[in-house]
Amino acid sequence: MDKIHSTNNEASFKDDSEEHTKLIQHVKNSFYDIIIQNSLEAFFILDMHGNYIEVNEALCDMFGYSRKEMLTMTIMDTDIELPTKKAWLKQLNRIKTSNNQATRELRKVKNKDGSTLYFQTHNKCVSSPDLEQALFYCFGTNVTDLVKQRESLELLNRRCINAQEKERLRIARDLHDLLTQGLIVVRMEIISFLKQIEIQPFKIKMTEILGLIDQVLDDIQNISKELRPQNLDAFGLIKSIQLYVDDFEKHNKIKCRMKINNNSLLEMNITKEISITAYRILQEALLNIVRHSMATNVVVTISCKNDILRISINDNGCGMNSDVYRKKSSLGILGMYERVSLVSGKLMITSKPGKGTEVDPRNRTGS
């Protein structure tokens, strides 16, 4: 009886195993038809020459071509950034050397009517011993609406920042032309009045008032400098940073030195937009140091490699938790990220509690 029961179990297991094998084979055989062709994600396969050798319906719908038309075309016909076979081979080689990892890219493509689309892709080159050449596989999503929304937000942000800069310039001019000039007139009147005063207590008091006016004039000048870095127009970015660093050390009693890794930076032609962006980020970084870091030493290092300008601000202060700068919860930090993104740059912030902070904006010189 036990032998019969064992035999039945073995037969049942064999039947289950065979059914499982059939299911796997069915999935393999129907994977493309069921999953790929009916996918909402666009999918295509290219050969090493950039020819489309397989496409799904989602890709055809996105480009506006029929399947028959697509299979007579190449990647050079649809990818705006790959207009030649040489450009395609260069792109292919970069993907092939990515340590066998899938790559993710935002591609700019054109459809049948000539309009531009943005295509978020996941790509991989796959080699097979059965084939003489590797194949290029790609899944992608049409993200044109998202890209255009982002561009609109960036344009709005850029206009806001430009408006802010113009308003700062207007306020700085008003401070100089109205308030400063008015205080200078009052100062001259006090000096004239002092010459006529003979009563010593009055003379001492008026001298004190004169000192207060001088202090207010200095404060207005410093505020004007913060509002509008006029040195940028007169001396350029690098020299302006040097002057600002010197003033920072003088007024805040924090040792601050500047290092220039290449003296040719002094003669480099840096665009106005990049200069203002870099200068404002430096201002914000140094202001944060005064407000929060309790630092005693700051080093500002300026370098340039492959047309990438770096202005690294390091302090030896108390540092901060990574949540502060990674989540961009501070308005000052958020402002720095927004400014650098508008000129297609990058901002790296590294910090640990008790280990100080490094703010490292990187921008193309634009020269």
pLDDT band with cut points at 50, 70 and 90 for residue 14: very low
Token pair of 339, please? 């400014």
State the distance between the two ends of the chain, measured CA to CA, in whole angstroms: 91
Largest CA-CA distance found in the chain, in angstroms, rounded: 133
**Which is more confidently placed, 37 or 166?**
166
pLDDT band with cut points at 50, 70 and 90 for residue 31: low
Token pair of 46, please? 């290219």
Kindly report which listed range (41-55, 140-154, 320-334, 350-364) carries the lowest average pLDDT score. 320-334
Query: 332 with 284: CB under 8 angstroms?
Result: yes
Characterize the bridge pairing of strands 297-305 and 255-260: parallel
Query: 315 with 357: CB under 8 angstroms?
Result: yes
Which percentage of the chain shows pLDDT scores above 70?
Answer: 87
- Give CA separation, 105 vs 95, 117, 120, 259, in Å: 11, 14, 6, 37
Question: What is the per-residue pLDDT for 94?
Answer: 82
Mean pLDDT of 213-218: 90
pLDDT band with cut points at 50, 70 and 90 for residue 233: confident
Token pair of 163, please? 């408006």
Q: Could you report the per-residue pLDDT of 252-278, keeping only the tens digit for each?
A: 889 999 999 877 777 778 888 888 899
Cα distance between residue 17 and residue 344, in whole Å: 57
Q: Where are the domains of the chain?
A: 22-142, 144-228, 235-367
Which percentage of the chain shows pLDDT scores above 90?
Answer: 34
- Give CA separation, 35 vs 20, 52, 143, 327, in Å: 20, 19, 21, 37
Query: Would the pLDDT of 227 be above 60?
Result: yes
Q: Could you report the per-residue pLDDT of 76-114, keeping only the tens digit for each?
A: 999 999 999 999 988 888 887 776 678 889 999 999 999
Domain 22-142 in CATH 3.30.450.20: yes
Q: Could you report the per-residue pLDDT of 112-171, keeping only the tens digit for each?
A: 999 999 999 998 888 777 667 788 989 999 999 999 998 898 888 888 888 888 898 888
**Which is more confidently placed, 21 or 97?**
97
Question: Which residues, listed in sequence order, are joined to residue 297 by a DSSP beta bridge?
Answer: 255
**Residue 320 three-state SS:** coil
Cα distance between residue 115 and residue 340, in whole Å: 30
> DSSP state, 66?
-
Characterize the bridge pairing of strands 42-46 and 116-126: unpaired
Query: Would the pLDDT of 68 be above 80?
Result: yes
Q: Could you report the per-residue pLDDT of 275-315, keeping only the tens digit for each?
A: 889 999 999 999 999 988 899 999 999 998 888 899 999 99
Which of 268, 282, 208, 280 lies closest to 235 in space, CA to CA? 268
Query: 243 with 235: CB under 8 angstroms?
Result: yes
Mean pLDDT of all residues in the chain? 84
Dihedral angle computed from the Cα positions of residues 50, 51, 55 and 57, in that order, rounded to the nearest 10 degrees: 100
Question: What is the per-residue pLDDT for 97?
Answer: 77
Cα distance between residue 205 and residue 219, in whole Å: 21
Tell me the range of 13-22, 47-56, 90-99, 216-225 where mean pLDDT is highest.
Answer: 47-56
Mean pLDDT of 330-341: 84
Domain 235-367 in CATH 3.30.160.270: no
Strands (E), the chain: 42-46, 52-55, 103-110, 116-126, 135-142, 255-260, 297-305, 308-315, 346-351, 357-364
Tell me the range of 99-108, 140-149, 182-191, 339-348 where mean pLDDT is highest.
Answer: 140-149
Helix axis angle for 200-227 and 237-252, nearest 10°, is 140
Tell me the range of 70-74, 94-98, 172-176, 307-311 where mean pLDDT is highest.
Answer: 70-74
